[in-house]
Every structure is written in structure tokens, then in C-alpha cells.
């Protein structure tokens, strides 16, 4: 039994900016959810960063003055901020996952519709298992990236901007010393991104080849046993 699975180099041929541009169409189609996600992220970031400021204000104020009533007031404020933060984080998780699922649903519909338009010769050249991988696990990977990866990167970047702004307001020299490590982090990130992109595409190619072989092995089980190829297939 011969399975013509795509080579890893074929899968890695599509340039990343081109792929991102095509994916942005799906983001634009769900712009309402995306805007809601960004809004909730900003709220979560502000609430998270307000806690250390409140703690500092409490230490410099009622704690230094040994005012029990003042400490109680700050404690209640901190409890309220923490409560709102937990609600906002839960809402953020819900909205980001919903956004990823909506984008994945639209992408999966388009991929399936595209397959319906292809000629019969296309299905002769591409195993069914490989095509199923495209419609299922590959789309799941894109959906997961929107649900967790992209959202996490955006939230971390937003939080970093807020932290730098807060530090700059507190001590500009401290910000300058912290930002000295940014060039090193950028170099490490670029190197890691290039390597991980190649490895990720290679993994997707291997998964597609495995699914194609499993599908054809099960579908052609009678032929496999008829020609005594069960041991080879196993």
C-alpha cells in the first residue's frame, strides 16, 4: 500500500505574512468579538496593575500612621478589586475561547466548501486522511492559536505597556535599566520563532501522513489481508 503524503517542504512553502493576511479576513468577520476581547483585556490589565498601587498607598498611608480604620478601608477596596478582577478574567477567558471557536467554525466551513469544488484528480493525488487532517486537526490548531496563543500574546504585550508606563511615571531611570534587556529578548524571540515555525509545519506534515496511512489502512483492510500485508502495515 502506497500513501502519497505531502512532503514537509510543500507545507512549509506558504509564506507566513501571506497566511496571516488570509486569516485576518476571519478576524475582521468577527470584529465585534475581537473588540470585546480587547476591551476585557484592557480592564483585566488595569485591575491587575491597580493592586500593587493600592498596596503601596496603604503602606505609605494608614499602615505608617497605624490607622486601623484606614487599613480596613484599603482592605475592602483590595477585596473589591480582586473580586472584579476574577470576574473580568473569567469573562476574558469566555470571550477569547468563543472568538477562537467562531473563527475556527468559519474556517472549517470554507475549507470543506473548497474541497467540494475540487476536481476528482485532486482527490487522486491527495489521500483522504490528509484532507481530513486539514479540515479537523489543522483547523483546531488555528482555533487554539486564536483562543489562547494570540490572546495571551496580546494580553502580555498590553500588560507590558501598562507596566512600562507605570514604571516611567514612578521612576524613569528604573525604566531605562529594565529596557536594556529588550534587545536580547527580541533576538531570542526571533530565533525561536523561526525555528518553531519550521518544526510546527514539519509536525503537521507528519500528522497528515500518519492520518492518511491509518485511514487508507482501515479502508483497505480487505486488500491488506488479501495480499498478506498486515504485518507490514502494523
* Tens-place pLDDT, residues 131-163: 888 888 888 888 887 777 676 777 778 778 877
Answer for the pair 40, 91: CB distance below 8 angstroms, yes or no: yes
* Tens-place pLDDT, residues 105-139: 888 888 888 888 888 888 888 877 778 888 888 88
Q: Which three cell numbers stand for residue 24?
A: 485576518
Q: Which residues contact 5 (CB under 8 A, 6 or more apart)?
A: 127, 130, 205, 208, 209, 212, 213
CA-based R_g, the chain, Å: 26
Out of 9-13, 37-41, 80-84, 221-225, least confident range: 9-13
Q: Which three cell numbers stand for residue 212?
A: 492518511
DSSP 66-120: T-HHHHHHHHHHHHHHHHHHHHHHHHHHHHHHHHHHHHHHHHHHHHHHHHHHS-H
Which tops the pLDDT comparison, 94 or 229?
94
Amino acid at each position: 500500500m502506497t500513501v502519497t503524503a505531502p512532503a514537509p517542504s510543500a507545507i512549509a512553502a506558504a509564506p507566513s505574512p501571506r497566511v496571516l493576511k488570509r486569516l485576518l479576513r476571519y478576524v475582521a468577520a468577527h470584529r465585534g468579538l475581537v473588540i470585546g476581547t480587547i476591551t476585557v483585556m484592557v480592564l483585566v490589565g488595569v485591575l491587575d496593575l491597580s493592586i500593587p498601587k493600592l498596596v503601596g498607598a496603604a503602606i505609605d498611608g494608614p499602615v505608617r500612621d497605624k490607622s486601623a480604620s484606614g487599613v480596613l478601608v484599603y482592605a475592602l477596596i483590595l477585596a473589591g478589586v480582586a473580586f472584579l478582577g476574577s470576574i473580568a478574567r473569567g469573562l476574558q477567558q469566555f470571550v477569547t475561547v468563543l472568538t477562537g471557536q467562531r473563527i475556527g467554525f468559519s474556517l472549517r466551513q470554507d475549507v470543506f466548501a473548497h474541497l467540494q469544488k475540487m476536481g476528482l484528480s485532486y482527490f487522486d493525488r491527495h489521500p483522504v486522511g490528509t484532507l481530513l487532517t486539514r479540515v479537523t486537526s489543522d483547523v483546531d490548531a488555528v482555533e487554539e492559536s486564536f483562543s489562547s496563543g494570540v490572546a495571551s500574546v496580546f494580553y502580555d504585550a498590553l500588560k507590558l505597556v501598562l507596566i512600562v508606563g507605570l514604571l516611567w511615571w514612578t521612576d524613569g531611570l528604573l525604566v531605562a535599566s529594565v529596557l536594556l534587556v529588550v534587545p536580547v529578548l527580541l533576538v531570542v524571540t526571533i530565533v525561536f520563532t523561526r525555528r518553531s515555525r519550521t518544526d510546527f509545519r514539519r509536525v503537521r506534515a507528519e500528522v497528515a501522513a500518519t492520518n492518511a496511512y491509518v485511514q487508507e489502512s482501515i479502508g483497505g483492510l480487505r486488500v491488506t489481508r488479501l495480499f498478506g500485508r498486515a504485518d507490514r502495515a502494523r
